[in-house]
Chains A and B, each alone.
Chain A
Amino acid sequence: MIRVELAKMFRRPRTYVIAGLLCALPLVVAIFLATTRIPPPPGQGGAFLSAVLSNGALYPAAAMALVMPIFLPVSVAVLAGDAVAGEASAGTLRYLLVRPVGRTRLLIAKLVSLVVFVLFAIGSVLVTSLVAGLTLFGGEPSAGVALPADVTSLSGVTISPAGLVLRLLGTVAYIVVSMIGVASIALLLSTFTDSALGAAMGALAVLVTSQVLVTLDAAAAVRPYLPTRYWLSWIDFFRDPVLWRDIERGAGIQLVFLVVLLGAAWANFMTRDVSN
C-alpha cells in the first residue's frame, strides 16, 4: 500500500507544482540579494541572509529559514488534509477499504507518503538553493564555511564542508519531525471530515494560533508546549558547538503531538462510518 501511495503522489502534477513553488521563493530572494547586494541588517530579516553574500555555500540554510515558517507547513497541511478527506470525496476511499486495505495500513501509508513528500520538497529546495547560492554569490565550498556572526555567538568559526553537510542533514531531520507534527494535525482533521479544504484550514488555524501565542508574553505559561515554539530551533545546528537544548525539546514536543494526534486519528478512523 505504501508503494501505491507513493506512486499516486508522484503521478500527481500538484506534487511537483508545490515543490517548484517552494524552490522558487529562495530563488527570488537570491536574485534580489545578488542584484542589489543590500543585506538585511544582522538580527533582522531571514536568518543567514546577511552571511550568504560573502559565502553562497550557506544559502541552503538561508533557504530553509525562508520556507520553514509558512510555506512548507502550509503545503504539508494542504496535502495531509487531503489525505483521507480527498479519497473520501473522490469516492475512492470506499473502494480501497473493500479491496480490502486495512484502515491502519491506509493511515500509515498516508503518513509515510507525507514524510517522503517533505523529504522530496526539502531536498529540491536544498539542491536548487545550493546551486543558486554558489552561482549568484560565489563561494568555495571546499574551503569550509565561516559561521555568520548574527547566528552564532562566536564569529569567525569555520566549519568544514563535511561539518556543513552533517549540520544540514541534522536540519533536514529536525524539519521532517516538525512537519510530521503538522501532518498529524491535518491528518486527524482529515479523518473527521470529507472536505480536504476544511481539514487543511483547520490545521492552519491551529498553527497560526500557536504562532501568535508564541510571541505573546501573556501566554508565556503555555509557550513551551506550543507546536510551533521550537520550529526554528534547527538554527542551533549552526552554532559552534551545536546547542542541543532547544533541538531536543522541540523534537520531544513534536513526538508527543505526533503520538497523541495520530492515536486520535487512528481511533476515529477505525470506528468511523465511511458513508461517502
Chain B
Amino acid sequence: MIITRGLTKTYGRLAAVDGVDLEVREGDRYGLLGPNGSGKTTLLRMLLGLVFATRGEIEVLGLPVPRRVRDALPQIGALVEGPGAYPHLSGRTNLRLLDAAGPGGTRRDRATRIDEALERVGLAGIDRRPVRAYSLGMRQRLGLAAALLRRPRLLVLDEPTNGLDPRGIREIRDLLTELNTEGTTVFLSSHLLGEIEAFCTRVGVMDRGRLVLQDDLAELREPTGRVLVTGPQPDRVVSLLDGRVEDRDGDRLTVRHDDPAALNAQLVGAGIPVSEFTAERRTLEQVVLAATTGSADRVEAR
C-alpha cells in the first residue's frame, strides 16, 4: 500500500526525514511510533503530496507520489496534525462542503454518506452548533468522519486519538479495528506506546528522522528467555532450579529458561504448586528505548 525508498526531506541543514524505507502492506494495522519532532508528521505529509521530498521515492496504492497523487488520494482518508474545520459552520456543513469540493460521489447520496460517517465516529446527534463550540474531542471525531467520508481503502491518521478521553480512545480503537477487518489498511502515527501496542500489528519506530525499526509487533516482542514464576513455596523452586533463578521478589521469581513448557513440566513433576506462570516477553517500551537515542524535545546544555 505504501512503499518509500530512501525518502529524505531536508530543511536547510536539518534532515527532518532521513533515508526512510517504509513498507506498509495491504491489510496492515501499521503504527508509526516516535517522539514529537522525530519526523512522523513530515513523513505523513510527504505520503499525501502536501510536502515535497528532497530525495527518494514514494509509492502509495501502487502510484508514484507526488506525480500521480491525485489518482491515489480519492481512495485515502487522512487526518493530518489535528482536524481542520471552518469554525463558524456546523460540523455537517463542513463535511458537506468538503465532500462537494472534490471528485467522486454523487450529490444525491451525499447526505447519506455524511450521516453514515457521523454515525460511525459517534457524532450522529450533532446539531447546528458551529464547530467553534465543539470540544477538542468532538473536533477530533469530526476530523475522523471527514477521513471516512469516501470509504477509503487506506487510512492515514496522525495522532488519531488526540484530545479524546479514555472511553473515546477505546471507541476509536474499536472503530479502526472494525474498519480494518472490513479490509481498510490503517497507517497511524502516535507517540503513545500503549495506543500502538493495543491496536497495531506492525510497528515502525522513528528517531531523529530515521526509521530505526520496522517489524511485526509479535516479532519485536520476542521472548526474553526468562520465565516469571509465582507460588506459595518459592524456596522449593529455588532449591529445585538452583542457579537458574535470576531474581527473587517475595513470592515472585525470575527464572532463566529457554523452554517454558519444559520448565512447567519440571515444576509440576516436582509437585511444586504454582499460582502464576508467564514466559516473559519484551515490552514495546523496552524495544523502543533500545532502538532510540534520546528524547527529541530535550535540549542539552553545550
Number of inter-chain CB pairs below 8 Å: 78
- Shortest Cβ gap from B20 to chain A (Å): 17
Which residues of the other chain, A, contact B70 by a CB distance below 8 angstroms? 100, 102
For B87, give the chain A residue with the smallest CB separation: A90
SS of B interface (majority)? loop
B80: interface (CB < 8 Å): yes
Complex interface residues of chain B between 6 and 64 (CB less than 8 A to chain A) = 42, 45, 48-52
Interface string of B67-88 (1 = CB under 8 A from A): 0011001101010111111111
Residue from the list B73, B78, B84 in contact with A92, Cβ < 8 A: B84
Stretch of B95-103, B112-120, B121-129, B212-220 contacting A (4+ beta carbons < 8 Å)? B95-103
Q: How far is the CB of A240 from chain B (nearest CB, A)?
A: 48
| Partner-contacting stretch, out of A3-11, A223-231, A250-258 | A3-11
Asked if A165 is at the interface of the complex by the 8 Å CB criterion, the answer is: no
Query: Which residues of chain A come closer than 8 Å to B82, judged between CB atoms?
Result: 91
Bin chain A's interface residue count. 20 to 34
Once bound together, how far apart are the Cα atoms of A7 and B101, in whole Å?
11
Instruction: Pick from A7, A90, A92, A96 the residue with the most CB of B within 10 Å.
Output: A92
Q: Once the chains bind, are B73 and A4 in contact (CB under 8 Å)?
A: no
Is the Cβ of A97 less than 8 Å from the Cβ of B52? Answer: no
B85 and A274: CB pair below 8 A?
no
A7 to B94, CA, bound (A): 11
Most chain B CB neighbours (cut-off 10 Å) among A7, A98, A100, A102: A98
Decide if A245 is an interface residue (CB 8 Å cutoff): no
Q: Does A1 sit at the interface, judged by CB under 8 A?
A: yes
Cβ proximity bits A100-128 to B, threshold 8 Å, 1 near / 0 not: 11100000000000000000000000000
CA of A93 to CA of B80, assembled, Å: 11
In the complex, chain A residues whose CB is within 8 Å of the CB of B89? 11
Nearest B residue to A96 by beta-carbon distance?
B101
Count residues on chain B whose CB falls below 8 Å from chain A CBs. 31
A13 at the binding interface (Cβ < 8 Å): yes
- A142: CB under 8 A from chain B? no
User: Whole-angstrom distance between the alpha carbons of A91 and B102 in the complex?
Assistant: 17
Given the interface contacts A11-B89, A100-B70, A100-B74, does A275 sit within 8 Å of B42 by beta carbon? yes
A residues 2-55 near B (Cβ < 8 Å) are 3-4, 7-8, 11-13
User: Which of A7, A90, A274 is B50 in contact with, Cβ under 8 Å?
Assistant: A274
Bound-complex Cα distance A90 to B84 (A): 6
Q: Is the CB of B172 closer than 8 A to any CB of chain A?
A: no
CB pair A275 B101 closer than 8 Å: no
Pick the contact of B101 from A1, A11, A90, A274 — CB < 8 Å?
A1
> Are A275 and B73 also in contact (CB < 8 A) when A11-B89, A95-B146 are?
no
In the docked arrangement, what's the CA distance between A100 and B65, Å? Answer: 13
In the complex, are the beta carbons of B98 and A99 less than 8 A apart? Answer: yes
20 A-B pairs in the complex with CB atoms less than 8 angstroms apart? A4-B97, A4-B100, A7-B97, A11-B88, A90-B86, A91-B81, A91-B82, A91-B83, A92-B84, A95-B80, A95-B98, A96-B102, A97-B49, A97-B50, A100-B74, A100-B102, A102-B70, A274-B45, A275-B50, A275-B51
Interface residues in chain B, defined as those with a beta carbon under 8 Å from any beta carbon in chain A: 42, 45, 48-52, 69-70, 73-74, 76, 78, 80-89, 93, 97-98, 100-103, 146
Q: Which residues of A contact B (CB under 8 A)?
A: 1, 3-4, 7-8, 11-13, 90-102, 271, 273-275
